[in-house]
Structure 1
Amino acid sequence: MFSENLRSVRTAKGFSQQELAGRLHVVRQTISKWEKGISVPDADMLIRISEILELSVSELLGAKITEEMNQSEVAEQLARINEQLAVKNRRTRRILRIAMGFLIGIVVFYIILLILSMASFNSFKNGKKVEVTAQTETVIPEE
């Protein structure tokens, strides 16, 4: 809701992402992340955005809030939004960790296969038969 409101109000006021970022002293990518819903600004930044775009914080957040709503209620809304983003980020990090573990396992598996194939190739190349027993390794000369 915030992301959609920010984009629509910004474009209605005629600001580009770069212009708004310059006025807020942030990089353009920060504005883009806010508009995509990847992150949200903190309370102080919300106040600065609302001043630049000339609307209330509650309107920017998208809630139809009466004037009776105090700052603690707005803070509660921000806390809920931040918690939702934190849950989403934790889930994403968990998935990335699992994927990286899987990829590392595959790489280790292929390295072991490479080492075993090199050992097998070297024994074949030398023309010696290698007999592996449970405790010792015996080289049998060719007849």
Structure 2
Amino acid sequence: MITIGNKIKQLRHQKGMTQQQLATQLCVSRQTISSWETDRNIPDIETLTRIAAYFNIQVGTIISSQNADSVYLHKYQQCMMDIILAILLVERVTQLSTTFGLHWMNFIVIFYLIIFFLALKQANYFLNAGLIIFGMTSILSGFANLFWMGFGFRFTCFICGVLSLIVFAINVHQALFRKQCQLRKVNRA
């Protein structure tokens, strides 16, 4: 978990500042900066506001326990999953196909809804496995013209499969990013 002290230290290092230089800017002592960075103390809300203003960021970025890049990736991932769900539902309701094609799309939609709810629960292992299976199944059914679905369903399956594999790639990137951050912490200690 990234603490407020770690965030302050990270921001200070990004600007190439010493503790003394930051202390001068914030009108506090160097020892105060040190106590924040080692998590012995935390700054009060007024000081957090000054820190945020100095580094041109929001206070929420400092007090958040997640890295800003990680939060951005999670929002992007959730947005992509919402788009996939919307595409599937709209296509299922608006496209005409054979009975078997409609049943296949029902299966695809239900399967994706299960994956979607796993994403809400943050069960990453099952989510990633589901995204891979869904992506490959959708892409293959789009190419194979499974159940004589027609071009609309085939195209929808293919696009949704590709998008789900992109979401999977985002998940893998997040996991690698977290491991890299943990390794940096271990190496610094």
**Given the two structures, how large is their TM-score scaled by the length of structure 1?**
0.43
Structure with the higher fraction of residues in strand conformation: 1
Return the index of the structure with the highest Cα Rg: 1
Structure with the higher fraction of residues in helix conformation: 2
Q: Which has the higher contact order (CA 8 A, sep 6+)?
A: 2
